[in-house]
């Protein structure tokens, strides 16, 4: 080994600073916990347990960091507007949350929304999932994309970009389509209205995606270009698979039992057949999407939360500034 190689080996080339739960928990400082155990139970998704201890050790320090970032970014916007002699409306701070299906993105998003909105300055925090920007099932079926649902090509990317452009421009009452997991489809004519939030959380499997297959122009931005901060929820593939299968089997005993559910047929078959179907859905669709599209975006995140068994966050990696 040459002397130069020895020097390189001694340099930490990682763009992240890595923390254990104990190390990260110290960064909470004196931040008070504003959520009760009942609040946490109501915010967590099916089969995605979150302990009060992890909220205190992981999510409270993260909300403290994000509160600092939001304040600093807003001050920068005000300074820039003052310099330019402009008096535009506020620019929302956008947080993107990515990761595989069944990894806990929704729970993380709702916890952060609740914690951030409870800071003393009481910011207005909204949450939008990119599911609403999926093409309707009728379009996916026409384009033979139903088994690619959740892949980048299954989203109406231009509508999502237009939504983000309007949000960043500070427009009033920007509409986002509503997706129903019960009906497994975008709900025609139904929208939520986002009206000038201080913070907007965007959650979706492929929100950090950079590949684009668009004919219109090379200048079309990425969705993540509008993010001020991004989070990737990570776990071993074998662990995520187990979570996915467990959730599927639990849904057979709950939501799938309703005759109106898109997946009602799976509640009427035997457990073995249902498990085979779930394994096929995982291996042929969700695992392929994870490997091809989702995991390659992990290095683009500002923060990586790595989970172990039981959805416990074991490692936090924060991008160096």
Q: In whole angstroms, what is the distance from residue 313 CA to residue 50 CA?
A: 9
Look at residues 222, 214, 234, 185 and name the one whose alpha carbon lies nearest to residue 94: 222
Domain 11-319 indexed as CATH 3.40.50.261: no
Exposure string (b/e) for 265-291, b if CB count within 10 Å is 16 or more?
Answer: ebbeeeeeebeeebeebbeebbbbbbe
pLDDT at 213: 55
Q: In whole angstroms, what is the distance from residue 128 CA to residue 109 CA?
A: 9
CB contact at 8 A, 227 and 96: yes
pLDDT at 2: 52
CB contact at 8 A, 206 and 105: no
Look at residues 64, 69, 74 and name the one whose alpha carbon lies nearest to residue 34: 64
CB contact at 8 A, 229 and 121: no
pLDDT at 197: 96
pLDDT at 46: 82
Give me the torsion for CA of 21, 26, 27, 29, rounded to 10°: 140
176 alpha carbon, distance to own chain's centre = 16
pLDDT along the chain (321 residues), means of 10: 52 88 95 92 89 96 96 90 83 96 97 94 93 98 96 96 95 96 96 96 95 57 95 98 95 91 93 95 97 97 96 96 85
Look at residues 95, 49, 97, 92 and name the one whose alpha carbon lies nearest to residue 74: 92
CB contact at 8 A, 232 and 98: yes
Pairing of strands 313-319, 16-20: antiparallel
Exposure string (b/e) for 87-118, b if CB count within 10 Å is 16 or more?
Answer: eeeebbbbbbbbbbbbbbbbbbbbbbbbbbbb
pLDDT at 264: 93
pLDDT at 230: 98
pLDDT at 196: 94
pTM: 0.93
Angle, alpha carbons 187-209-321 (nearest 5°): 125
pLDDT at 212: 57
Look at residues 195, 278, 276 and name the one whose alpha carbon lies nearest to residue 241: 278
Give me the torsion for CA of 57, 108, 279, 237, rounded to 10°: -50
H helix runs in the chain, sequence order: 3-10, 21-25, 37-43, 52-54, 60-84, 105-117, 137-142, 157-168, 237-252, 271-281, 287-289
Q: In whole angstroms, what is the distance from residue 111 CA to residue 297 CA?
A: 23
End-to-end C-alpha distance for the chain, whole angstroms? 31
Q: How far, in Å, are 167, 191, 195 from residue 173 at the CA level? A: 9, 11, 4
């Amino acid at each position: 080994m040459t002397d130069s190689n020895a020097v390189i080996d001694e340099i930490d080339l990682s763009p992240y600073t890595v923390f254990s739960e104990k190390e990260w928990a110290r960064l909470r400082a004196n931040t008070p916990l504003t959520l009760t155990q009942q609040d946490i139970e109501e915010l967590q998704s099916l089969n995605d347990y979150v302990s009060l201890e992890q909220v205190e050790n992981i999510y409270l320090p993260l909300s403290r960091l994000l509160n600092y970032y939001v304040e600093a970014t807003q001050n920068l916007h005000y300074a820039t507007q003052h310099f330019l002699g402009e008096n535009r409306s506020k620019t929302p701070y956008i947080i993107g949350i990515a990761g595989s299906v069944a990894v806990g993105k929704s729970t993380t998003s709702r916890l952060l929304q609740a914690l951030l909105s409870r800071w003393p300055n009481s910011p207005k925090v909204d949450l939008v999932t990119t599911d609403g920007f999926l093409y309707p099932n009728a379009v996916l079926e026409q384009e033979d994309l139903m088994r690619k649902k959740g892949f980048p090509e299954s989203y109406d990317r231009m509508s999502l970009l237009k939504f983000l452009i309007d949000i960043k421009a500070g427009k009033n009452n920007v509409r986002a389509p509503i997706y129903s997991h019960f009906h497994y489809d975008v709900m025609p004519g139904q929208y939520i209205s986002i009206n000038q939030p201080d913070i907007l959380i965007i959650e979706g499997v492929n929100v950090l995606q950079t590949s684009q297959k668009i004919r219109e122009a090379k200048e079309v931005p990425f969705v993540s270009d509008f993010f001020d901060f991004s989070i990737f929820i990570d776990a071993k593939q074998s662990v995520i698979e187990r979570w996915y299968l467990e959730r599927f089997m639990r849904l057979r005993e709950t939501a799938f039992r309703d005759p109106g559910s898109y997946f009602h047929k799976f509640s009427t078959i035997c457990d073995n057949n249902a498990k085979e179907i779930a394994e096929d859905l995982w291996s042929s669709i969700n695992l392929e999407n994870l490997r091809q599209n989702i995991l390659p975006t992990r290095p683009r995140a500002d923060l990586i939360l790595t989970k172990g068994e039981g959805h416990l966050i074991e490692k936090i990696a924060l991008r160096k500034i």
